[in-house]
Structure 1
């Protein structure tokens, strides 16, 4: 049953017309300089802002938020700022404006906006937090549970992570690492930049953050694009269970792709045979893990490599190696551990547990696992299992923000029909919650992400047309399937696309 949520929204008249351009902001209080060494670029500028840790006590403890700017290429055409969040929770955002630009974004977008990135509170350069996780704990998704006892075992592992968070030096800060507070930080960024309004592009979890901002600060939104849409309850127990649904929606795309290339990879001559190979490998690795890959890691690693069709060759190579009792390509079945991984994971846990109250009863998860293992057998036994939030030390400090149809009509939602992480059901739920404030563009495509230049031109065109011209469809729109254009990527685009894929493979 959905929680009853608190919402405080200004009454704003509905409009379908474009927001008037405003080329000159009021005085900015930001002093731009060089970016940290790990994101340094001759054309990317960075700055630090102080914001309240607890917005209920604005004069209390402060934390630092690191922001970046890729300046407009044409001051005469500049409309304003376009703020980004690439997902997560806990995704690195400081370098994302440059990554997005290098993917092949039209020059008109780069002229219209200063592209603004930021590491959200708790992440890397923005007062980083930590739960002192061990390397084997960095993959937060629970193990695949085959029975009730394995749910109990997962609960013990989840409890250990929650206890480590509560005992960490960051423990006093973690309750304030929430979506609502990050949205408040975004408004502090807007004010510091001297802007009346901000445009926004959010991907994956970033869609929920953008929707929360549009609900809390409707008058401060200009053009809002939400790509690969999380449901209206945020990243809660319902949303993580949707990963199982998304995998069942998306896997047939890979099965068809692999069957066509059976002579190369030997995974099956038909989609049904490819699906049988998945089950064969998962069962084998359940009984006898190999090369550091057990059945659960195999299932979740396969899921993460279906996020982008670009990754299908790597996924096929990993399966082929495992079938032949060889080591899979490095990083294919398991995410590499990087420097800021601790802060990213601690932030993710804090947002998951601080935005919503999760079920505490193990029997609830045992029931969920049994249901999802039957409905979504590929990974449902993992994603419905016990997460650290079942043992989180503190209850959320405030109710989640409720979306509302009261406010400016300036949201564009774009969504693939077969998204492995944020399935269509969540987008439809969010679309309904916003009513006439939103338009939804659905794309006959698999994968996680629509607004990337190398994907569906109809879906990407809808994003660019709105950001540049302020034009949204009069009604919800459908984009048909197109031949994948990834083979025409330049070396720079391939590198940028790889960074986006790494960002999206969060669990």
Structure 2
């Protein structure tokens, strides 16, 4: 019955979208699809060196009122290398949400074969509210709303007050604009971009949240969807609070894996000779930061931010040395030594504690909170945190914590339920710490026309164009070049 209900809901959402899209087009959207783009230098080192050009695409702020206020969405284009083989455009999104993607394809194309780069104009994009596309800036005193809720009820209550204040400040600063920062509107922007580029369909590559955006596009615009690769995927049923809850278990497992790696190098890091000893050091750091913030350089790292510092580095095994070095510095600082954080740790602490307009992440919150109504009762989060503490001592209070979304104004639309037969290749690592492996499997089931590429026994978030793997790269490149999905779901192993 649950599956039947989801199917009915999907059909209803899809049908309403198609009808609404037709009505909007008849009432003024055509002028956006037929606009002429002014391609210029990107004024961006990597893009300019790659031979890219950039343009601004005008889109309605409010698609229900296309004759009203407009905003600009910044896009880049790296042209197909062989005009004779060109078959279309490939849009992209790096995830976040809130990640600027104007230069994303500069790096991704390094993993593409000549047969792929010959056929596609590679399109980067800063989504609405992000980067060069009318960025949301709530003027927050912190860089991102994601925080661990801490060790006890008092620390949790402080987090609740902070999140409520962040939501209030964003509403006061950005006003009605927030109602129009959403995944569904970004998908609509993508379709305007398609029209402005003179294309009947789009191809697409997305990481992380970008997989949610891509799958939503296939649900809203099935006739305009061609070859979609969704790497490190978010299933629409898990998007939001459940997506964060899913992070607890794989991050604890990743911490154990990292601890074993670090224990084998005790002569270098001096954090313990067994994985249990190294893990105990991290858990003790969390405890000590709750008793007294750890002074490191100009920063005071508290119990709300310390798990985030660890979390950031666990997304990729190649960051093992950096995380071990960070923990070594934090232990020294907690012991009262004068420690100047290394450059990478400094950058992380800057984003958390001293954001600039370029590094603040309130645009991420605007998308997350603008997409879906979340639980508003703080007791819901507190109960989940308490239940998680035994098995998730480092990350339970983060993964189950309350965010500003609990205090956000209700979204303008209901979230999209993705259930369709669009062609897609879903790539997922079993050890992914950001989008759980089960999330990719569930999206694969929801998209019956997809095939799943599993990267087995690898702890990484974002594979193609980020983590070299011959098997996965071959599958993606074959699909983009020839339109051929694997005959069956495919399991790859680390090179």
Tell me the TM-score normalized by structure 1.
Answer: 0.85
Question: Does residue 259 of the first structure (1) align with residue 238 of the second (2)?
Answer: no
Report the Cα distance in structure 1 between the residues aligned to 2:194 and 2:344, rounded to whole angstroms.
38
Aligned to 2:28: none
Residue 38 (structure 1) shift? 6.8
Instruction: Note the 1:86-485 alignment, pairs <5 A.
Output: 86-101=94-109, 103-134=110-141, 137-168=142-173, 170-233=174-237, 235-288=239-292, 289-291=294-296, 292-325=300-333, 326-332=339-345, 333-334=348-349, 336=351, 337-342=355-360, 345-392=361-408, 394-405=409-420, 407-408=421-422, 410-434=423-447, 436-444=448-456, 445-452=458-465, 454-482=467-495
Report the Cα distance in structure 1 between the residues aligned to 2:471 and 2:256, rounded to whole angstroms.
23
Match of 1:50 among 54, 58, 82: 58
Note closer, same or farther for the CA distance 1:263–1:210 as it changes in structure 2 (3 Å cut): same
Residue 244 (structure 1) shift? 1.3
Contact 1:314–1:329 under 8 Å retained in 2: no
Residue 117 (structure 1) shift? 0.6
Residue 454 (structure 1) shift? 4.3
1:80-110 per-residue CA deviation (whole Å, 9 max, x = no partner) reads 1111100011101111121323x44333222
Residue 9 (structure 1) shift? 4.7
Report the Cα distance in structure 2 between the residues aligned to 1:106 and 1:380, rounded to whole angstroms.
41
Deviates more, 1:171-180 or 1:144-153: 144-153
Residue 51 (structure 1) shift? 0.6
1:251-303 per-residue CA deviation (whole Å, 9 max, x = no partner) reads 23322321222221122222222222221222222223221222332211111
Report the Cα distance in structure 1 between the residues aligned to 2:302 and 2:314, rounded to whole angstroms.
19
Unmatched runs of 5 consecutive residues or more in structure 2: 19-32, 334-338
Deviates more, 1:107-116 or 1:410-419: 107-116
Q: Size of the alignment, in residue pairs? A: 459
Report the Cα distance in structure 2 between the residues aligned to 1:446 and 1:37, rounded to whole angstroms.
32
Match of 2:42 among 29, 35, 42: 35
Please give the root-mean-square deviation of Cα atoms over the aligned residues, in Å: 2.4
Unmatched runs of 5 consecutive residues or more in structure 1: 13-25, 483-507
Contact 2:149–2:402 under 8 Å retained in 1: no
Note closer, same or farther for the CA distance 1:251–1:279 as it changes in structure 2 (3 Å cut): same
Contact 1:121–1:177 under 8 Å retained in 2: yes
SS in 1 for 2:48: coil
Aligned to 2:13: 7
Contact 2:455–2:492 under 8 Å retained in 1: yes
Contact 1:359–1:390 under 8 Å retained in 2: yes
SS in 2 for 1:8: helix
Report the Cα distance in structure 1 between the residues aligned to 2:369 and 2:183, rounded to whole angstroms.
11
Note closer, same or farther for the CA distance 1:480–1:433 as it changes in structure 2 (3 Å cut): same
SS in 1 for 2:91: strand
Contact 1:212–1:403 under 8 Å retained in 2: yes
Q: Whose helix proportion is higher, 1 or 2?
A: 2
SS in 1 for 2:140: coil
Deviates more, 1:330-339 or 1:172-181: 330-339
1:357-391 per-residue CA deviation (whole Å, 9 max, x = no partner) reads 01111111111211232342221112311100111
Report the Cα distance in structure 1 between the residues aligned to 2:101 and 2:477, rounded to whole angstroms.
20
Note closer, same or farther for the CA distance 1:335–1:481 as it changes in structure 2 (3 Å cut): farther
1:187-211 per-residue CA deviation (whole Å, 9 max, x = no partner) reads 0001110111111001010010001
SS in 1 for 2:414: coil
Tell me the TM-score normalized by structure 2.
Answer: 0.87
Report the Cα distance in structure 2 between the residues aligned to 1:40 and 1:412, rounded to whole angstroms.
27
Contact 1:141–1:383 under 8 Å retained in 2: no
Note closer, same or farther for the CA distance 1:80–1:338 as it changes in structure 2 (3 Å cut): farther
Deviates more, 1:177-186 or 1:259-268: 259-268
Note closer, same or farther for the CA distance 1:271–1:9 as it changes in structure 2 (3 Å cut): farther
